[in-house]
């Protein structure tokens, strides 16, 4: 029987991923109370994507790593780390803040993929082309087998991945397919960054970007 857990819920316009560090500024009274309760009970809360109209049903637990700063008026800056993924079964509104009954889920078992080493190599090569990847992964010297699951989530946590990108990756239950998708998105990010730098250099030199570069950049932003 699948276990059901009751956790506080924090709808935000962003997606938290397993292992991802996220700074938060807590200012609303109800969420100040939620954080105080989580600290007192040493328990996580859930973060789910809210697009202004609806709350997504899949999210990720957030464990408070540090209370960075407390303000005189009760506001606080905290740092959280993503934990387990969950699916909401029921929303509960009994307290000042929202809670939910959730079921945790993880990736399924997968057969060995002979092409995964190439996918991992491509991912690390793309990371080498980015500045300050912020993934916690040493892309210059892997030093042994790399698990595609944490690598994919680490890549998806970096800048350039949209909330929709991250939500889709969060909901996937195949580590290999998730990493393949991350490589596709990261390749577009690397290409956009390269074209943007080229255009900035041309503008700085009082030149006009070639139409071919502008078309390529336009195509990338449409994807």
Q: What is the pLDDT of residues 88-131, one digit of tens each?
A: 999 999 999 999 999 999 999 887 777 888 999 999 888 887 75
Tokens of 140: 């210059």
pLDDT at 20: 96
pLDDT at 175: 94
pLDDT recorded at residue 52 = 87
Burial of residue 106 (number of CB atoms within 10 Å: 0-12, 13-18, 19+): exposed
Residue ranges per structural domain of the chain: 5-105, 116-222
Ranges 18-27, 71-80, 206-215: which has the least confidence: 206-215
**pLDDT value at residue 196:** 64
Pick the CATH number of 5-105 from 1.10.630.10, 3.10.105.10, 2.30.130.40, 3.40.50.2020: 2.30.130.40
User: Binning pLDDT at 50, 70 and 90, where does residue 199 land?
Assistant: low
Model pLDDT for residues 134-190, shown as the tens digit of each residue: 444 444 444 567 899 999 999 999 888 999 999 999 999 999 999 999 999 999 888
How many Cα atoms occupy the beta-carbon half-sphere of 39 within 13 Å?
13
Q: Could you give the CA distance from residue 67 to residue 130 in angstroms, rounded to a whole number?
A: 30
Residue reference for tokens 């929303």? 91
pTM of the model: 0.82
């Amino acid at each position: 029987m699948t276990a059901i857990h009751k956790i506080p819920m924090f709808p935000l316009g962003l997606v938290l991923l397993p292992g991802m560090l996220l700074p938060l500024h807590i200012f609303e009274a109800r969420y100040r109370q939620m954080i105080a309760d989580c600290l007192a009970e040493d328990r996580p809360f859930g973060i789910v994507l809210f697009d202004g109209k609806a709350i997504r049903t899949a999210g990720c637990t957030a464990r408070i790593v540090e209370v960075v700063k407390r303000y005189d008026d009760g506001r606080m800056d905290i740092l959280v780390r993503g934990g387990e993924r969950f699916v909401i079964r029921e929303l509960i509104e009994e307290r000042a803040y929202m809670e939910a009954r959730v079921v945790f889920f993880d990736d399924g078992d997968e057969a060995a993929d002979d092409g995964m080493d190439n996918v991992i190599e491509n991912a690390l090569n793309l990371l080498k082309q980015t500045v300050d990847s912020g993934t916690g992964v040493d892309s210059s010297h892997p030093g042994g087998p790399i698990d595609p699951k944490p690598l994919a989530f680490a890549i998806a946590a970096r800048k350039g991945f949209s909330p929709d990108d991250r939500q889709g990756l969060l909901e996937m239950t195949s580590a290999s397919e998730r990493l393949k998708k991350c490589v596709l998105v990261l390749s577009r990010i690397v290409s956009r960054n390269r074209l943007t730098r080229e255009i900035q250099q041309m503008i700085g030199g009082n030149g006009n970007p070639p139409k071919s570069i502008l078309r390529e950049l336009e195509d990338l932003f449409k994807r």
